[in-house]
Homo-oligomer: A and B are copies of this chain.
Amino acid sequence: MPLLFNIAATGAEGGRRAELALPHGAVRTPVFMPVGTAATVKAVEQGVLETLGQPTAERPSGRGAEIILANTYHLYLRPGHELIRRMGGVHRFMSWDRPMLTDSGGFQVFSLAGLRKISPEGVEFRSHLDGSKHFFSPEHSMEVQIALGADVMMVFDECVETPASWERTRDSMALTHAWAERSKRYWVEHREEVPWADEVRRGRGEAARGADATDATDATASDDADDAGVASVQPRVRAAGEPARFAGRHQALFGIVQGGMYADLRRESALRLVDLDLPGYAIGGLAVGEPREVTREMIARTLEYLPRDKPRYVMGVGYPDQIEEYARMGVDMMDCVLPTRAGRHGLAFVRADPTDRRSAVLRLNVKKLENAEDQRPLDEGCGCMVCRRYTRAYLRHLVASGEPLGATLNSIHNLAFYMETMERVRGDLAPETRG
């Protein structure tokens, strides 16, 4: 079952407007994915996430985030992947019914300098929470990610430190490639074990199961009672005769190209991974402290070797102008904690000229005294719920007073700003065809 990735148009610089069909829905790309580290996009409620962004004449609120990311390392440690599997997977656990992606845990584990030990078998590490000892192998990362049940999961890779020598980077890359093969093998064998697999199985000709549900007065409750023994908050409803939602679907596994800051290694890594014929490809190990020009160069040199008919994802970037630039170069997916982290620190992204949405991006320090009596919204050209309702003066007061609402509102605006940026890039690549 190949991943459905329908490219509608390709721009002069290589950027593509496309639609990525995932088990939990369609994602319009290029897309920016908000990061929900611990199964929550920090300080932003799921209902708000679903309506983020710019309203239109047809829609009184924004489209919302079409895909979000969760971190395997964090969820593995707390509350634990087996618990989330028993709760029906991360979608049901957090009540998010749209697509999701999980990273492999590799990046977080490798960031635990001094707390981890790498071998060809995998990585032994200590929890940053309580110092307890754990071991991640490619197989274990896959097992954890299958339990979480995101629509897209990532191979377990090694991230080399920066700067690193060519030799060190090459050796690390070799480990990444070996681990990618092991990740793929495990995924192929176990991908039917995703928590929504019961619906997958039901969809495969088990007509009787569908009839059962119809017989019950409250099909929904009985359906869930079968699974968990108690009434659930978010029941899955399926009408008689309707095919199971996830019939024939399973998680997609993306490879991760490494190779540090060496174009020849990036090329080699891309070619090796493409041989594995995975549903999508990410470019990892960037935005780790290197100059911006190098990040851009590595992306450009890697994109050349990635298949044009599959989604391409650059992990952990970036500033609004960067995500715009990379999207125009042909990157389809990106994620970054920046909009929410900056929001919590009282920083808001705005356009230098609010009436020109292509003007430079500024970072507004909301707490500054100059905002204390400013009756304007954060960004006069932004239509997000924060800019429609609240003044800089009020937001400045919230941030200066340490009120939690300040972090929430700044984060919402920043996420809306990122989404507006991607919306505009998509519009430039090809006009919108549906509302």
Measuring CB to CB, which residues of chain A are less than 8 angstroms from any residue of chain B? 38-40, 42-47, 78-79, 83, 86-87, 93-95, 224, 228, 230-234, 372-377, 380, 385, 387-391, 393-394, 396-398, 400-401, 403-405, 407-409
Contact = CB atoms under 8 A, between A and B. Distances in A.
B372 A42 contact: no
B233 A376 contact: yes
Contact of A373 (B86, B376, B404, B408): B86
Nearest to A129: B401
A231 B87 contact: no
**Copies of this chain, count:** 2
B403 A45 contact: no
Contacts of A375: 87, 224, 228, 230-233
Contacts of A397: 38-39, 78-79, 93
A393 B62 CA distance: 29
10 contacts: A42-B404, A43-B404, A78-B397, A78-B401, A79-B396, A87-B373, A87-B391, A87-B393, A231-B375, A408-B408
A52 to B, nearest CB: 13
A83 to B, nearest CB: 6
Contact of A405 (B43, B78, B388): B43
Nearest to A390: B95
Given A40-B398, A79-B400, A93-B391, 15 more contacts: A39-B397, A40-B403, A42-B403, A45-B405, A78-B400, A79-B372, A79-B397, A87-B373, A87-B391, A95-B389, A233-B375, A233-B377, A233-B389, A404-B408, A408-B408
Contacts of A407: 404
A234 to B, nearest CB: 7
Most B CB atoms within 10 A — which of A39, A46, A95, A391?
A391
Contacts of A231: 375-376, 380
Contacts of A390: 95, 233
Contacts of A79: 372, 393, 396-397, 400-401
Contacts of A230: 374-376
A394 B38 contact: no
Nearest to A398: B40
B42 A83 contact: no
Contacts of A394: 39, 87, 93-95
Nearest to A385: B47
